[in-house]
Amino acid sequence: MHSPYHRAIERHLHTRLREGWRPIVLSIHSFNPELHGRARPWPVGLLWKYREPWLDTLFQQLRQQGLEVGDNQPYDGHVMMGYSLERHAIPNGLRHLLVEVRNDGLATQGGNANGLKNCMLPWMLQVFLPLDDIKSGGFYPLPV
């Protein structure tokens, strides 16, 4: 399952690059609300290895919607971004973002699951689609 999945991602990214796209690779994970007895207050954290200007726009839009967002929290994106981003995005110079969602909210009806649906998808489209070097005409998610 692991190898075919990553080969499919590679084919998808190479196809998009040949077509003139500059993909942004997103990875979505969840995290515990507490680590070693310390609370992690953010319902959502955005992790990045290299800070780019589009991230400032993203943080600003999320905070304007009243969402407390961890900036390279709850983990340090400089240290590790996860296998998929380390394999597919970073070595190829692609824009990337690791979205961490606090898992206690995912288990409740009024928690982060609604935030993901109602808040995150709109900002993803607002921030990612208008970028000047992304070919217009569609939005292609990676294969699942």
pLDDT at 29: 87
- What's the predicted TM-score (pTM) here? 0.76
The domain segmentation of the chain, as residue ranges, is: 24-128
Superfamily holding 24-128: Zn-dependent exopeptidases (3.40.630.40)
Cα(11)–Cα(17) distance, integer angstroms: 10
Higher pLDDT, 42 or 119: 42
pLDDT at 10: 92
CA angle (28 as vertex; 125, 104 as ends), nearest 5: 110
